A and B are shown apart, each in its own frame.
Chain A
């Protein structure tokens, strides 16, 4: 085959939009990047579903990596099926699959038209935000396995994990929203009925006024007993833990307002402050909801169970059966296929094991294991099938035991926001003021006493603090998530602001996971040889081979014959009559090369003639080096890597002599380092991406999981950050620091209002009219200040 003419225009896959390296995969007039994409197109074409391609350009996801044909055979096991489906009757079965590939309206259209491809499917309904498809199928015509395989065939491989088994996802708790709705309804109607009160009414219509007041009392009951229940609960929780949180004084203010209003109305002395009370409850609930609005599609609670598969193949003599993960017992022999995870610690009994531990330990290169060696759970097998004898149950494996450590249970008092401290002192101040006013009036004019005392308690409620805090938190969370930085909840903002030490993982965090820097040194190679090397490298799933295949640029389907892979050594094969050997120095040249043994070097020989070697490096993510240099001045930095120390000199030069660099660290070591730092009083932010960082992420003050794709598995953490936004880390921390300033500013302004109000109140001069106007105005101005300042700060930080 000759490839002298290179096409100038790059072709893009009709299905997934990737560049077509191989220009030979064509159906009708459409190009595809791989057989997988072509197959999806053909399925859709046969069933008349090509509307999929009309809605969006190249909507599919790449199908380069084939799914093993019997991967979903475990779904035929009734016990496993039971734990995955949500409902089953005589004819129909309901199941919800998580499909991380869902991303556009074409996906929606295709998945909701599944019944046109597979008549057994009755109905399918997509939840876009959760990336889930709820599918109803007739189990007389179709099976769970068939549905999963159908989804896989059209490019939406369901993600089924061990953690999905037997557990139902908790429904979103919408009780706050109901409370908000009721409060809003009552607030608006009370305001409307209070207008005569504000504006005055003709003497003749006095009866109407009194009637309106009684209607107001009726309308305020749901607010007092139902909507405000949110605050009663949380104040009660605080008191039970012997802690006066911000909700306690708020509850006091609500009760005082309500009781005084009832007294005024029933005694006929005034109209009360029911409008203010329901208004403030409404605003505070709105703030709480805004603050609690989190990302539905993200999970911050994932542990090893969501990383592990649901079932494995158990070998019993010649037969093999499917076994659900919890049923694995000591002494079972498991067969692990290519690209599968090892679910339990075991001894290798058959096959060539080449285990990729990069996600578990941070080592960037796969490890060769010999027969009889122990393989730890969590690694991924590359290459052929292997068999292993289980020596530890799933829940007691090396990795899982690290995860189940009890040390992670944190003292809840550490999470308490600064607003609680302020409100604590503020409450005592207010109580003292009202007490003093009471004593003063008791001796001067007893009639005014109760008026003065209650007016102080009403006006000086710290609800302004709560409002500014919740609204500022809410808008900061929104700004963060617009920048692909997702926090677990609002308390993380304050923790970010107080941190003084940054700990980075290397592989996958500072660097990309894939090898991208490939440098060739040696005899000059022609472009045709380059392509042949690429064709050979493409046969292996080893990360170094992948990098070389990418480097060669074109994999034009040169057939490789006599391909042989020797795990840990290299690969060899005939490409167009040329014998090409890739691998370690020992494998290619027959002798050790002292110069290039360390690090990631691949030697190459053509027809037995040594050509040279490739040196491969993890590439640092864009603008990471400059970010690190900026951060060295402001924070204590540490780099903890599970990988070897080839990068030590580069990082040392980048970070200066004062930065601690740790290499070859086990997951448990990372945790210990964090603990040691915390003992010295450091508040650490840990940034990591893999299971190896999981312990450290949980232990540290703030754990941030870095991911290239937020749909991917991320270990449990306080925050998830898209890798492309990592350079903006400093701005994120600055905005978190601004949080406190903004809340305090808003609070001080509200105190000014309060002082004006109080100066009238302690003199007994505060008329209902002024109080009624003052309260909403102060609330709304606080909202405006919180929103305005937060967005201005974000703009200034260019977020």
Chain B
């Protein structure tokens, strides 16, 4: 039955990755503005920074 323990460790680590991704996404401000990203992706070549 040790395979269950292995699976358990694997599943919890994968879940932890998702938790980390969630926390990162909140921290990086992805939920601060939910309106502009959906519009931005439909527009052409926005936010291409100027070449200095």
Binding site for B on A (CB under 8 A): 51, 55, 91, 105, 108-109, 112-113, 115, 119, 121-130, 138, 172, 174, 177-178, 181-182, 185, 188-189, 192-193, 205, 208, 211, 215, 296
Contacts and interface: CB of A to CB of B under 8 A. Distances in A.
B47 A129 contact: no
B35 A128 contact: yes
Contacts of B1: 205, 208
Interface in B1-52: 1, 4-5, 8, 11-12, 15-16, 18-19, 22-23, 26-27, 31-36, 39-40, 42-44, 46-47, 49-50, 52
A185 B16 contact: yes
Interface of B: 1, 4-5, 8, 11-12, 15-16, 18-19, 22-23, 26-27, 31-36, 39-40, 42-44, 46-47, 49-50, 52
Given A105-B42, A115-B49, A128-B35, 16 more contacts: A55-B43, A109-B46, A112-B43, A112-B47, A115-B50, A121-B50, A122-B52, A123-B47, A126-B36, A127-B33, A130-B33, A174-B26, A177-B26, A177-B31, A181-B23, A185-B19
Given A112-B40, A129-B35, A215 B26 contact: no
Contacts of B15: 185, 188-189
Nearest to B36: A128
A208 B2 CA distance: 9
Contact of A105 (B27, B31, B39): B39
Nearest to A130: B33
B33 A105 contact: no
A122 B43 contact: no
Contacts of B34: 129
Contacts of B40: 108, 112
Contacts of A126: 36
Nearest to B27: A174
B8 to A, nearest CB: 7
Nearest to B42: A105
A215 B33 CA distance: 38
A211 B2 CA distance: 11
26 contacts: A105-B39, A105-B43, A108-B36, A108-B39, A108-B43, A109-B43, A122-B49, A122-B50, A123-B49, A123-B50, A127-B33, A128-B36, A129-B32, A129-B33, A130-B33, A177-B31, A178-B26, A181-B19, A181-B22, A181-B23, A181-B26, A182-B19, A192-B11, A208-B1, A208-B4, A211-B5
A124 B36 CA distance: 13
Contacts of B5: 211
Specify which of B34, B36, B46, B50 lies most central, judged by the most chain A CB atoms within 10 Å of its CB.
Answer: B50
Specify which of B27, B35, B40, B47 lies most central, judged by the most chain A CB atoms within 10 Å of its CB.
Answer: B35
Given A174-B26, A178-B26, A208-B1, A125 B47 contact: yes
A124 B47 CA distance: 7
A161 to B, nearest CB: 22
A128 B1 CA distance: 54
Nearest to B40: A108
Contacts of A122: 49-50, 52
A21 B50 CA distance: 40
A128 B39 contact: yes
Contacts of A182: 19
Contact of A119 (B19, B22, B43, B50): B50
Contacts of B27: 174
Contacts of A108: 36, 39-40, 43, 46
Nearest to B9: A215
A361 to B, nearest CB: 38
Nearest to B37: A128
A113 B46 contact: yes
Nearest to A119: B50
A380 B13 CA distance: 63
A205 B50 CA distance: 65
Nearest to A104: B39
A296 B12 CA distance: 35
B27 to A, nearest CB: 8
A156 B34 CA distance: 22
A127 B40 CA distance: 11
B23 A127 contact: no
B1 to A, nearest CB: 6
A108 B38 CA distance: 11
A94 B52 CA distance: 16
A94 to B, nearest CB: 13
Nearest to B49: A123
Nearest to A126: B36
Contacts of B4: 208
A182 B15 CA distance: 11
Contacts of A113: 46
A119 B49 CA distance: 10
A55 B44 CA distance: 11
A108 B35 CA distance: 10
A396 to B, nearest CB: 38
A208 B12 CA distance: 16
Contacts of A55: 43
B46 to A, nearest CB: 5
B14 to A, nearest CB: 11
Contacts of A91: 52
Contact of A127 (B22, B32, B44, B52): B32
Nearest to B2: A208
Contacts of A193: 8
Contacts of A211: 5
Contacts of B36: 108, 126-129
Contacts of A115: 49-50
B33 A112 contact: no
A674 B4 CA distance: 70
A448 to B, nearest CB: 34
Contacts of A192: 11
A193 B8 CA distance: 9
Specify which of A130, A185, A192, A208 lies most central, judged by the most chain B CB atoms within 10 Å of its CB.
Answer: A185
Contacts of B12: 189, 215
Nearest to A137: B50
Nearest to A51: B44
Closest CB pairs A-B (n = 4): A128-B35, A128-B36, A105-B39, A115-B50
A563 B15 CA distance: 76
A130 to B, nearest CB: 7
A172 B33 CA distance: 11
A177 B23 CA distance: 8
Contacts of B35: 128-129
